[in-house]
Amino acid sequence: MNLDCGLVPKDTTYVEKSTNISYKSDATYIETGLPGKINDAYKTQFQQQTWALRSFPEGQRNCYNFNLTAKRRYLIRGTFIYGNYDGLNKLPSFELHIGPNNWTTVSTLGVTNGSIHEMIHVLPQSHLQVCLVKTGETTPFISSLELRPLHNETYVTQSGSLIAVARVYFSPTPSFVRYDEDIHDRTWVPFLETKTTALTTDALVDTSNFYHVPQPVAKTAADLKLVNLSGNPKLNSSALSDRLKERIDSKILTLILDKNQNQTTPKSKSSSVTVIAIAASVSAARLSATDSQYSKDMGIEVEMNSEANSSQEGRVRDEEANSKNAPTLYVM
């Protein structure tokens, strides 16, 4: 489901040219709010689904309502591009909730005046509410809202919903990977820095599991010598360069690793770890990767999930994220 929020008239549909994704108006799923448009000067920076928006000047809490499949896992993504739509040049800040639970605080800072928030959530029942909650003097708004059903054997957790920060793959080219190369429309950001060795393959990589890592991601990797996985492994914060920390907002890392079980996967000739991609997630503790003691103090470690398949997951675990309603970490 791909909603262009504030799109009028309400029966409007279109295909976004850069992704070939079809969007429709959000009007069927919410009865409140006012349609608006970002300033024309911002349109060249963003895809079409962010040109319109829905703002909520009235009421403290305004909710989208969806009838979906109970017990099903969904990727939920909200995009917020302010674009000075109201002419006030006052960047809004407000909360985003899933039902009664706080998902995140939306702050539209930076040169783009926007932000994207993504989570993976299992519906306890067939009804889903995504709510914008006013917390101050500024007006909540939303540009687009997207829902993607996922296989229930992916992103399994026992302690609440999963909040994404970024997905980084090691590519020597500055190409983002999204739909249709990623069938789940996850966004992968390219990154390669001088302290890593780039590894590539032209062969088709076996990604036949429910995560469906896209081929452009699976075919590129990096020899990340700074990650220590021997013995009782700890995530070494020195593995993060300053540039990478800036890309992912200095949050906790998850590694997608390869143990050279698949002969077509990019290979390292050294004994260090071959890292196919890195995903960053945020927990309730909101730890900083710049703290060299965080892995010791907070009990974060890399867990090796031994499987016979071609790729292997290195999962970061935050032992403080097991409280009720606390978002935890996920692989991709």
Read off the pLDDT of residues 231-279 as tens digits, 9 standing for 90 and up: 333 333 334 334 444 443 333 344 454 444 344 445 444 434 455 555 5
Asked if 97 and 70 sit in the same domain, the reply is yes
Q: Confidence class of residue 150 from pLDDT cuts 50, 70 and 90?
A: confident
Q: Confidence class of residue 283 from pLDDT cuts 50, 70 and 90?
A: very low
Asked if 197 and 312 sit in the same domain, the reply is yes
pLDDT of residue 184: 76
Asked if 28 and 74 sit in the same domain, the reply is yes
Asked if 72 and 187 sit in the same domain, the reply is no
Q: Would you say residue 330 lies in a domain?
A: no
pLDDT of residue 196: 66
User: Which tops the pLDDT comparison, 54 or 199?
Assistant: 54
**What's the chain's average pLDDT?**
70
Highest-pLDDT range among 20-29, 121-130, 163-172, 206-215: 20-29
Asked if 272 and 168 sit in the same domain, the reply is yes
Q: Would you say residue 328 lies in a domain?
A: no
pLDDT of residue 15: 96
**Based on the number of CB atoms within 10 Å of its own CB, is 215 exposed (0-12), middle (13-18) or buried (19 or more)?**
middle
Last residue of a domain, one of 150, 184, 216: 150
Asked if 114 and 168 sit in the same domain, the reply is no
pLDDT of residue 88: 93
**pLDDT at residue 135 greater than cutoff 60:** yes
Last residue of a domain, one of 112, 128, 150: 150
Q: Is 58 left (phi over 0), alpha (psi -120 to 50) or beta?
A: beta
Asked if 199 and 78 sit in the same domain, the reply is no
**pLDDT at residue 142 greater than cutoff 80:** yes
Q: Confidence class of residue 194 from pLDDT cuts 50, 70 and 90?
A: low
Q: What percent of the chain clears pLDDT 90, i.e. is strictly above it?
A: 36
pLDDT of residue 156: 74
Asked if 170 and 120 sit in the same domain, the reply is no
CA angle (252, 255, 256) in 5-degree steps: 150
**pLDDT at residue 314 greater than cutoff 50:** no
Q: Would you say residue 81 lies in a domain?
A: yes
Q: Would you say residue 35 lies in a domain?
A: yes
Q: Would you say residue 40 lies in a domain?
A: yes
Asked if 14 and 48 sit in the same domain, the reply is yes
How confident is the model over 52-71, as pLDDT tens digits?
999 999 999 999 999 999 98
**pLDDT at residue 292 greater than cutoff 90:** no
Supply the DSSP string of 203-262, one letter for each residue: SPP---STT---HHHHTEEEEETT---SSS-B--GGGS-HHHHHHTTT-EEEEEEE-S-S
Asked if 141 and 34 sit in the same domain, the reply is yes
- Contact, 145 vs 80, CB < 8 A? no
Give the up-direction half-sphere exposure of residue 43: CA atoms within 13 A in the CB hemisphere. Answer: 10
- Contact, 186 vs 75, CB < 8 A? yes
Asked if 35 and 121 sit in the same domain, the reply is yes
Q: Give residues with Cβ within 8 angstroms of 226, minimum separation 6.
A: 195, 236, 238, 239
- Contact, 83 vs 166, CB < 8 A? no
Can you say how many angstroms the Cα of residue 80 is from the centroid of all Cα atoms in its chain?
Answer: 14
Q: Give residues with Cβ within 8 angstroms of 246, minimum separation 6.
A: none
- Contact, 6 vs 53, CB < 8 A? yes
Asked if 168 and 39 sit in the same domain, the reply is no
Q: Would you say residue 156 lies in a domain?
A: no
The total of structural domains in the chain comes to: 2
Picking from 292, 296, 293, 220, the residue whose alpha carbon sits closest to that of residue 256 is 220
List the CATH number of the domain containing 70. Answer: 2.60.120
Q: Would you say residue 48 lies in a domain?
A: yes
Q: Would you say residue 99 lies in a domain?
A: yes
**pLDDT at residue 318 greater than cutoff 60:** no
The boundaries of the domain holding residue 79 are 2-150
Average pLDDT over residues 73-101: 93
Tokens 């599991």 label which residue? Answer: 209
Peptide bond just before 242 cis, omega within 30 deg: no
Picking from 223, 36, 277, the residue whose alpha carbon sits closest to that of residue 142 is 36
Can you read off the two tokens belonging to residue 145? Answer: 């809202």
CA atoms of 107 and 125, how far apart (whole Å): 30
User: Which tops the pLDDT comparison, 248 or 132?
Assistant: 132
Picking from 202, 234, 231, the residue whose alpha carbon sits closest to that of residue 219 is 202
Last residue of a domain, one of 150, 178, 198: 150
